[in-house]
Amino acid sequence: MQRTIAHSGAWAVAIIMIVIASWLLYKYLAPKTWREWAGAGLIQAFIIALYAEMYGFPLTIYLLVRFFGLDRTYLNANLWSTLIGLGDTGMMISMIIGYIILFIGFGIFLQGWRELYRAHQENKLATEGLYSFVRHPQYTGLFLGLFGEGIVHWPTFFSVGLFPIIIIAYTLLARKEERKVIEQFGEEYIEYKRHVPMFIPVKGQWHQVIQYSKLSSDNT
């Protein structure tokens, strides 16, 4: 039986979104070493797979219907919309929640980038602002953004599968970066590292982290 999947086939929009997201990715991550390029490449694959399914061809829904026996009266390119059975309402709910998480993550990423840039300009260790809550706020924001867009808003086989791989890749990259910082700042960074977590703020500090993320939108 021929099944029509709503909200698909807009390849022009998919290409535009991939180009914009990729430009932002390389503009702010600015990879230099092979590890940085490898991490950026994983995110690039995440972006391409995500928007190709979101606006182009819904491969995840097709595979679930074709090979895993998914049987729903209403099929939507959005997985949550199809599974929950709320139609466009389900897609709207996942979109709103996903975008809230995405924008919070992007704000944390930008503010962390600004704080690190200022610290480099002054040749000092970044320990203030977002860096007083986590040692790598840019990566915290990156993970939140990818989670909001590729898991909450529009989950696919590729986005769900790539997400933990990206976290592992950037955890390894963060540890390598920390070894370099220790060579530069020595005991000062070791002491800072003892008291500040890597990616996840201490319980009760998320509100402050989100407040700092709003500074990036105010300065944009």
Domain assignment of residue 1, yes or no? no
Residue 5, in any domain of the structure: no
Q: Structural domain of residue 33, as residue ranges?
A: 11-219
Query: Would 68 be classed as within a structural domain?
Result: yes
- pLDDT score for 146: 96
Q: Is the dihedral of CA 102, 105, 111, 113 positive or negative?
A: negative
For residue 216, what pLDDT is reported?
Answer: 61
Question: Can you read off the two tokens belonging to residue 52?
Answer: 């190709």
In a domain, 56, yes or no: yes
pTM over 0.85: yes
97 belongs to a structural domain:
yes
pLDDT value at residue 2: 45
Q: Is 4 part of a structural domain of the chain? A: no
pLDDT of residue 73: 61
Report the CATH number at residue 144: 1.20.120
pLDDT digits (tens, 9 = 90+) for 47-80: 999 999 888 888 887 788 777 666 666 667 778 8
- Which among 133, 127, 139 is positioned nearest to 191, based on CA atoms? 127
Separation between Cα atoms, residue 77 and residue 211, nearest integer Å: 34
pLDDT for 69: 66
Domain total in the chain: 1
pLDDT < 50 positions in the chain: 1-2
- Does a structural domain hold residue 206? yes
Residue 7, pLDDT score: 61
CB atoms within 10 A of CB 61: 25
pLDDT at residue number 84: 75
Q: Is residue 185 part of a domain?
A: yes
